[in-house]
Structure 1
Amino acid sequence: MKIAVVGAGWNGAHCALELVTAGHQVVLLDKHPDIFQGVSGDFGIRLHKGPHYPRSRNTRESCLEVFDRFRETYPELVVTHDSAIYAQGTRDALGNRSKVSNDAFAHVCHESPECREVDLSSSAFAGLESAFDLDEPSVVLGDRLRSYFRERLAVAGVQIHSGFCVEKIVRKANQSLVYRDDGSVLAFDLVINTTGFQSLLPAHFERDFPFDVEVVYQPCLALCYQDRQPSEKLFSFIVMDGWFPCLMPAITSQGSFPANYILTHGSYTIMGSFPTVAQADSLLEGLTDEFVAAKVKAFAEAEMCRFWPEFSRRFHYTGWKGSVMAKLKTRSEFRSAVTFENEGVIYVFPGKISNVFNAADEVLALIANRSSIEKNGFRYAAQGVLDIAHCEMTQKPEFGEQNTCNLQTYTQLGGRKQASQPQTVEATCH
């Protein structure tokens, strides 16, 4: 088949390679001037094993299922840590206890057999109930990632069209017609949408989808730091489960001692939750360095120092970056990739990095017409993520319950309230 993959991030690039291996002809389309220009190139920095999602068994299982497969397929892109600490905080930024019990948190961490408990009495940490060290590595970012995939896609014979804005997709006479914003049209047997579920979406998706799901779009920030004492011993430090901080290396070069890290925080770096991409984009575009430094950075640093006092001495703030991310609103914070077909287009709702394997497997199953389920015009793989996890995906947070998909941080921190924008069926070109 001649297949167009729209969106050249992790899901698009990996899926393109898998499709070529299966014998298909693939064209990769992206609105940006280069591949991996969005979330995948800036934020996809950790190869999850699961403890970041202690309340979502399906997310943990999907990550663990393909963890080794990812490392074996992309060894050049995986960087092992000397330590990857998951800790349970006594109280979060709002004074609340962790959302999971001590026993539940320990059990989740020990789902990774190499997990070992950290002796807090001899550590530099404070305010923690417990901490565990796992074998959870980083995935490279930026130009190093782009260079790798440019070469690999070229060798595979994948055509890449950058700066290609898709205006709409029309299914006609067993062909998918891809209309570019300049008026030109390309014809394919099939189109796969890997735009992060932000462009060219199904009409009336939430109304017609077989299950009661809700999508929110969030402008998310990463605060950037330089390590004043860089060494070959990479580490990450993540406090769970609630409004806690997370510090991770951002590896963009081939250097032996990466000095760049990013800091995020459950209560401060997710700026808002919106029903449309346009609203989320508008808020992100309106952020200023002054607001981020005074409101976001100050609070996030204070929270990090509460658990690791050495942070302020060792790390130097260099700026921030942001991107809009789509999330399914679920009580458990479910974050796996979800794949389905509607009207001749296969959609991949993004999950964690390793979930590119789950998604590509399901894309191939749908193309081959292997066992699938069809409801309301939507088709998805039997025993795929949607089939297995739809019950968890439809469980929404209760009224007043803390949940990342309810956050309106920008307004709460004193930012100007965003003007309401009408919801549109079709987002901007991709």
Structure 2
Amino acid sequence: MPNLRSKVTLQLNNPEFNTFEDTRSLYDGGIKLPTDPLAIELSRPHPQGDSFGPVSNVYLPASEGVEASIWLLAKAYVVVNDSCYHQLVSHWLNTHAVVEPFIIATNRHLSVVHHIHKLLLPHYCDTMNLNSLARTILVNAGGVMELTFLWGDYAVEMSAVVYKDWNFTEQGLPNDLIKRGVAVQDPASPHGVRLLIEDYPYVSDGLEIWAAIKSWVDEYVNFYYKSDADVVKDSELQAFWKELVEVGHGDFRNATWWFKMPNRTELKEACTILIWIASALHAAVNFGQYAYGGYILNRPTKSRRFMPEKGSVEYDELAKDYQKTYLRTITAKNDTLTNLTILEVLSRHASDEQYLGERIEGDLWTSDSQPKQAYKKFGKKLSEIEKNLIQRNNDETLRNRNGPVKMSYTLLYPTSEEGLTSRGIPNSVSI
């Protein structure tokens, strides 16, 4: 597994984006950052065993000769690692996999007429079927992930290792931003956090979507639960939560961060986080995959050779023809064709897609008029947000909205048409 790990030290005015939904086309043709890092450290396992520590090399910027080609190649290795992390952690683990236990616990313990079942049902649509298909084709032994990504046979194992640090409460957007060091808690600021990077499209757009979901859930829960005692006395709800914690995410049954579900506040927060994961978070990490990664030179998934060292045949080859060396290093042609086919399918909206703020049942999902009106208000708020996001993308003072290749950040626009659009927030993890 060449160069399993990579670390980038960026200039202070260009903060590190370490997940795909944040990446604003950092790589141009696979070889150029808009603002170059100060250094790149690539590491691989020690040949004598892990107890000896990793074998690491630090690469510095260069603009001439073979060292310039080495620098360009080092940046490609960083992209390879990020591609793997994105697909197997940001995408598969943090959306597809973690939502599944919620669906199972809901179906086992909440009747179809239960208020919370009705609230969450649109956000479960087709996820179990899709995950089953993924286990057959994508993340299975010998599947697409193992064959065409750098992590190979270790792909699903790496997801499992990262899952050991998973925390449901930290998947709520404000807490996630605080954990990642791009915001600090501030009750006086909108959404309860003060951003340390103002021009950050995923964050600024996401917080508006998050707030809209939170407001909708707040009105809905308050209508059906008049007091905290109503939450505690709801035997179906408590059984649902108990199974989710102790069985569905049994590895964390003793974790202290779980909501205990003693009041309306925790019920609202749990539902908001779950809806956010299934809708907006998944949209942000999924529907831009073909736009950003469909050109394999921009986002390779595999490095087939170690970095060239002075005196080696590969080093001499790199000095003569960088492009040929690059193509021999990154994802092979057949793997590329497989990857692009999968990325196109994953990034495509179906003709019958149900987007956030829509329900397939129309007004028939409940007979209570107040929740109906609250849901319509939620839909109108999302329409307003979309108009705001379009205006932001037209604001030339916000440089990161379009990036160096003039590609607008549209992943969190709530609506979309059918096909490859790089926008639209479906209700559920349905592709």
Structure showing the higher strand proportion among its residues: 1
Same fold (TM over 0.5): no
- TM-score where L is the length of structure 2: 0.30
Identify, as 1 or 2, the structure richer in helix: 2
